[in-house]
Amino acid sequence: MALLEIENLRVIYPNGTEAIKSITLNAEAGEIVAIIGRSGAGKSTLLRCINGLQPTSAGRIVLNGSEINALSESERIQLRRKIGFIWQEYNLIDRLPAITNVLTGRLGYNNSWQSALGIFNTTHRRIALHNLERVNLLHRARHRADKLSGGEKQRVAIARAMSQQPTVVLADEPVASLDPELATQVMSVLARVAREDGVLTLINIHQVELAKAFADRLIGIANGTVVFDGKPNELTP
């Protein structure tokens, strides 16, 4: 059984817009899958469906044996704990240091009162520091997020996602805000840590050459359907 199974997924927004017409795909643990396509093709909607944030109109999504639409809200919260999400705009708390931002990836494993007080035990801190080291930012652990460069912020976001010890990582245009050199660096870091941990990673990305360079597999989406699914060297102009 694939780690992620999507069958005949369809999403229609309340205003009648058909964001996803019909998507069927499977993905295995450890794969790095780049999802390519124009703006409005349905890429971001697809990731939000997998994360349980976007209601679906039809079809089914099964992640690690759990059908997302069949879960209660509390069960979805538990499942989401194992889904790392990397946003285009970083979603860091600017006034907090990098280490604290990474520690927020451990909130799902903390007691509610500890989370409210910002208390993290030694195990949480060890995991967070380890992941900062993996993205080459241990020396910036005490620096406020708003003092970091764009590339550094996205590497902090990667460290935060990996600190969840996720089953799957979803990255929505993670390098769209970066210049080409930084984009290559961030994609390299993301691919490396994902492969080290054997985590299924789905990356929405516009830069096709970066997708071909770092992904094991490409999925092309147009008008809410899959129009290509194959290895990078199989993608024609």
Distances (CA, A) of 119 to 147, 156, 164, 180: 24, 19, 16, 38
Per-residue pLDDT tens over the stretch 203-237:
999 999 999 999 999 999 999 999 999 999 999 98
CB 158, CB 188: distance < 8 Å:
no
Q: Considering only CA atoms, which of 234, 158, 157, 172 is closest in space to residue 34?
A: 172
User: pTM of the predicted model, to two decimals?
Assistant: 0.94
Rounded to a whole number of angstroms, the distance between the first and last alpha carbons of the chain is 33
Per-residue pLDDT tens over the stretch 54-83:
999 999 999 999 999 899 888 988 888 999
Q: What does the pLDDT read at residue 182?
A: 94
Q: What does the pLDDT read at residue 108?
A: 84
Q: Which two tokens stand for residue 203?
A: 């990356």
Q: Which amino acid is at 122?
A: T
Q: What does the pLDDT read at residue 128?
A: 96
Q: What does the pLDDT read at residue 115?
A: 60
With a cut of 70, list the residues of the chain below it in pLDDT: 1, 111-118
